[in-house]
C-alpha cells in the first residue's frame, strides 16, 4: 500500500518538511534507503546517512537540524520521538499483514471447541476438545491446541507451536514458531537403588495478557497449581522455564535463559542471555542480570548483577581486574621463590 507524507504525519501527529504528497510503499533502514521507501533517524550515529539516503521520506526528531544539504528528493516528518513513532508505523504495517479470517483445510477442530469471530486457523492445525479461541486470533499451520486450552482475544500463535492440555494464553499475546507450552516439568524421584520414577505433572501454564514468547522456547506445566507468565513479560528465543516458575509483570529475558523450578522472578527484571537461575529462590523486582551470569540464591534487593555466582557488577569489575593480573602475580611469586632459594643456598654455603 502507498502512503503520502501528509497521511503519515497525520497518523504520527508530525510536521511535514518538504513535499506533503511524497509517496512511500516500503520501509528501509536509512543507510539502505531507496525511492519510495520510508526511513527514520533517531540515533546521531546514523546522521551522516541522511545526507546521502535514497529514501523518499524520513522520520526525524523535532530537535533535528540539518548540518548540510539534504537530498532534494527527501521529505522529512518531524515528531517528538522518531524511534517510537517508527515503531508505531511498524505495528500498523504488521497489523495490515495479518491473515484473512478463514479456516484452511485440512485441519481438525473438535465439535466441542469454541471459535470466536474473525479467526484465522491455518492448514493442519489441531484444535482439541473444549478449546476456546477468542475473537481476532491467528492460529497458524501445524499448531496443536490440546483439550481445554484457552486463547485470549487478538493473540497470534505461529506455526508448529504445541500448547498442552488445560493451559491458558491471554489476550494480545504472540507465541513464535516451535515453542512448547505445558510440557511436563522435570520431576523424578529416585528410589533406594537410584532408579528414577516419574512424578506426574498435573498443573498447567497460565500466560497473562500482552506476553510475547520467542521461537523454540519450553515452558513447563506445574507439578501442581500453575506456572505463571504474568502480564507484559517478554521472552526471547530458546529459553527454558521450568515447572511452577512465576515470572512477574513486564520482566524481559534474552535468548537461552534457563530458570529452574519454583523460582519467582519479580516485576521489571531484565535478564541477559544465557543466564542460569537456580530453583526455589526469589529475584527482587527491577533487578538487572548481565548475560552469562549464574544466580544460585535469592536476590533480596534490586541491583545489577554479573558473574557466576553473580555479584554486584562493580564488585565483579574490580575482581576481574585482579583476575587479569594473576599471570603477572604468579610469575612474580615464582621469581621470588627462586630468589629465596638462592638466598637460602648461599646462606647455607
Within 8 A by CB and 6+ apart from 250, the residues are 231, 232, 233, 267, 268
Instruction: Give the whole-angstrom CA distance, residue 310 versus residue 278.
Output: 12
Residue 110 annotated to the active site: no
Contacts of 20 (CB under 8 A, 6+ apart): 4, 5, 6, 9, 75
Partners of 206 in beta bridges: 168, 228
Cell of 37: 521507501
Q: Where are the alpha helices (DSSP H) in the chain?
A: 5-12, 47-50, 82-96, 313-348
As a whole number of angstroms, the distance between CA 294 and CA 289 comes to: 9
Of the listed 140, 243, 250, 280, which one is catalytic?
243
Q: How far apart are CA 273 and CA 255, in angstroms?
A: 5
The alpha carbons of the chain give a radius of gyration, in whole angstroms, of 28
Catalytic residue set: 243
Amino acid at each position: 500500500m502507498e502512503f503520502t507524507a501528509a497521511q503519515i504525519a497525520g497518523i504520527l501527529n508530525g510536521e511535514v518538511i518538504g513535499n506533503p504528497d511524497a509517496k512511500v510503499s516500503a520501509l528501509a533502514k536509512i543507510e539502505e534507503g531507496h525511492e519510495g521507501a520510508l526511513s527514520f533517524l533517531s540515533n546521531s550515529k546514523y546522521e551522516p546517512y541522511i545526507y546521502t539516503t535514497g529514501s523518499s521520506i524520513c522520520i526525524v526528531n523535532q530537535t533535528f537540524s540539518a548540518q548540510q544539504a539534504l537530498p532534494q528528493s527527501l521529505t522529512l516528518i518531524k515528531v517528538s520521538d522518531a524511534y517510537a513513532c517508527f515503531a508505531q508505523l511498524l505495528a500498523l504495517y504488521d497489523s495490515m499483514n495479518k491473515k484473512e479470517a478463514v479456516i484452511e483445510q485440512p485441519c481438525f477442530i473438535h465439535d466441542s471447541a469454541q471459535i470466536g469471530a474473525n479467526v484465522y486457523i491455518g492448514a493442519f492445525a489441531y484444535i482439541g476438545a473444549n478449546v476456546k479461541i477468542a475473537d481476532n486470533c491467528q492460529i497458524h499451520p501445524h499448531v496443536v491446541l490440546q483439550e481445554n486450552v484457552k486463547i485470549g482475544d487478538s493473540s497470534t500463535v505461529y506455526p508448529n507451536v504445541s500448547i498442552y492440555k488445560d493451559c491458558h494464553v491471554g489476550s494480545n499475546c504472540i507465541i513464535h514458531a516451535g515453542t512448547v507450552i505445558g510440557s511436563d516439568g522435570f520431576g523424578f524421584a529416585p528410589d533406594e537403588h537410584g532408579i528414577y520414577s516419574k512424578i506426574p505433572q498435573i498443573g498447567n501454564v497460565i500466560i497473562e495478557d500482552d506476553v510475547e514468547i520467542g521461537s523454540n522456547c519450553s515452558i513447563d506445566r506445574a507439578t501442581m497449581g500453575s506456572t505463571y507468565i504474568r502480564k507484559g513479560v517478554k521472552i526471547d528465543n530458546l529459553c527454558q522455564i521450568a515447572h511452577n516458575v512465576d515470572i512477574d509483570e513486564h520482566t524481559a529475558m534474552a535468548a537461552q535463559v534457563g530458570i529452574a523450578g519454583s523460582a519467582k522472578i519479580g516485576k521489571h527484571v531484565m535478564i541477559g542471555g544465557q543466564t542460569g537461575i537456580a530453583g526455589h529462590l526469589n529475584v527482587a523486582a527491577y533487578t538487572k542480570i548481565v548475560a552469562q551470569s549464574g544466580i544460585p540464591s535469592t536476590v533480596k534487593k534490586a541491583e545489577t548483577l554479573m558473574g557466576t555466582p553473580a555479584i554486584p557488577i562493580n564488585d565483579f569489575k574490580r575482581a576481574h581486574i585482579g583476575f587479569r593480573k594473576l599471570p603477572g602475580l604468579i610469575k612474580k611469586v615464582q621469581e621470588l621463590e627462586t630468589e629465596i632459594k638462592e638466598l637460602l643456598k648461599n646462606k647455607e654455603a
